[in-house]
Amino acid sequence: MPATTTLAPVTESSQELRRALTAVDPGRRRKDRAMRGVIYGAFALAMIPLVSLVWSVLTNGLGRFDLYFLTHSMRNVFGGMDAGGVYHALLGTVLITLVTTLISVPIGILTAIYLVEYGQGPLARAVTFFVDVMTGIPSIVAGLFAFALFYLLVGPTRSGLVGSVALAVLMIPVVIRSTEEMLRLVPHELREASYALGVPKWLTIVKVVLRTAVAGITTGVMIAIARVIGETAPLIITVGVTDSINRNVFEGNMMTLPVYVYRQYAAGLVPCAPGDASCIATINYDRAWSAALVLILVVMLLNLVARGVSRWFAPKTRA
């Protein structure tokens, strides 16, 4: 690297000396400026899709987003009818996510407890490694697994439960990761104090460790829910589709919000007879956008509440 500063005669004013010492030769400065531009540009570039996506979901989705849309199903809705809503899909998403959570949370938290409180040796290392690997399972493969599992056990079947198992495969590793992080934050002194009082280990874990970390765990679980609630592919092959309301998770096809978005998109434009005022050609796309808006609102709400929980109920352990 060439010397970039020249020794200024002592007689010169300190201002000039300073300038001479801090001056960078033009080539390097140009490069620095250019790269700064590139890096700012990269960030701006990434904001384009975010803004464009949110904007198009809002502008296209708000049109049909009303109480009617939220409280009606697609039963007996056909062609370009100005009707139909998302109630059955909303219900299906809530039920399936609920079952998924019921499966994933106990397994996830117990595994995290194992890793933090008991885990040593090759088994713990294997579990840690494969939890990482499990986060990378493609969602469609999780769907295939759930389908194959139920196919071999009870024959060909589609139900909310199969979808829940598929989603649980995707959700468990996320729950483990976040819970594990939270449990490791619990100060060791708390455990030792509990042991010193003669409290058995399991009670220490339940009453001291988990209670201290409960806010963080709740946040982690909600973020995990937010992540699986938008999964589409595994549900297409495990839960199927329906236009009617199905409240039974154990039997029959169910509709879910993401699959609803996909189905409405796939239905495409409606060929309307000319002059038919009651027929809306773009009705399917409109419904898809509105359902996408509902879906994004649900996900954002979960994220916000999760962050709120961790902020307001943060463990008061820091001295």
| Interface positions, 257-316, toward another protein (CB under 8 A) | 258-259, 261-262, 265-266, 285, 288-289, 292, 295-296, 299-300, 303
Min dist CB 89 to another protein, Å, is: 12
Contacting range for another protein; rule: CB under 8 A; set: 66-74, 78-86, 179-187, 197-205:
197-205
Q: Hey, what are 246's tokens?
A: 């199905």
Q: Which is nearer to another protein, 12 or 32 (CB)?
A: 32
Distances in Å between the Cα of 132 and the Cα atoms of 120, 137, 141, 173, 180 are: 17, 10, 16, 7, 12
Min dist CB 138 to another protein, Å, is: 2
Number of residues interacting with another protein: please give it, by CB under 8 A: 100
Q: Which is nearer to another protein, 41 or 276 (CB)?
A: 41
69 belongs to the binding site for another protein (CB under 8 A)? no
Q: Which is nearer to another protein, 25 or 276 (CB)?
A: 25
Binding mask 229-248 for another protein (x = CB under 8 A): xxxxx--xx--x--------
- Please give the sequence-ordered ranges of beta strands (E in DSSP) within 254-305, or none if there are none: none
**Cβ(234)–Cβ(139) below 8 Å:** yes
What gap in Å lies between CA 259 and CA 239, rounded to an integer? 10
Q: At what angle do helices 283-312 and 87-113 cross, to 10 degrees?
A: 30
Q: Hey, what are 207's tokens?
A: 């009453």
Q: Which is nearer to another protein, 11 or 182 (CB)?
A: 182
Please name the helix (run of DSSP H) or strand (run of DSSP E) that holds residue 35, with its range, or none: helix 26-61
**Among 65, 66, 72, CA closest to 87:** 72
Identified binder of another protein from the candidate list 7, 10, 50, 273, rule CB under 8 A: 50
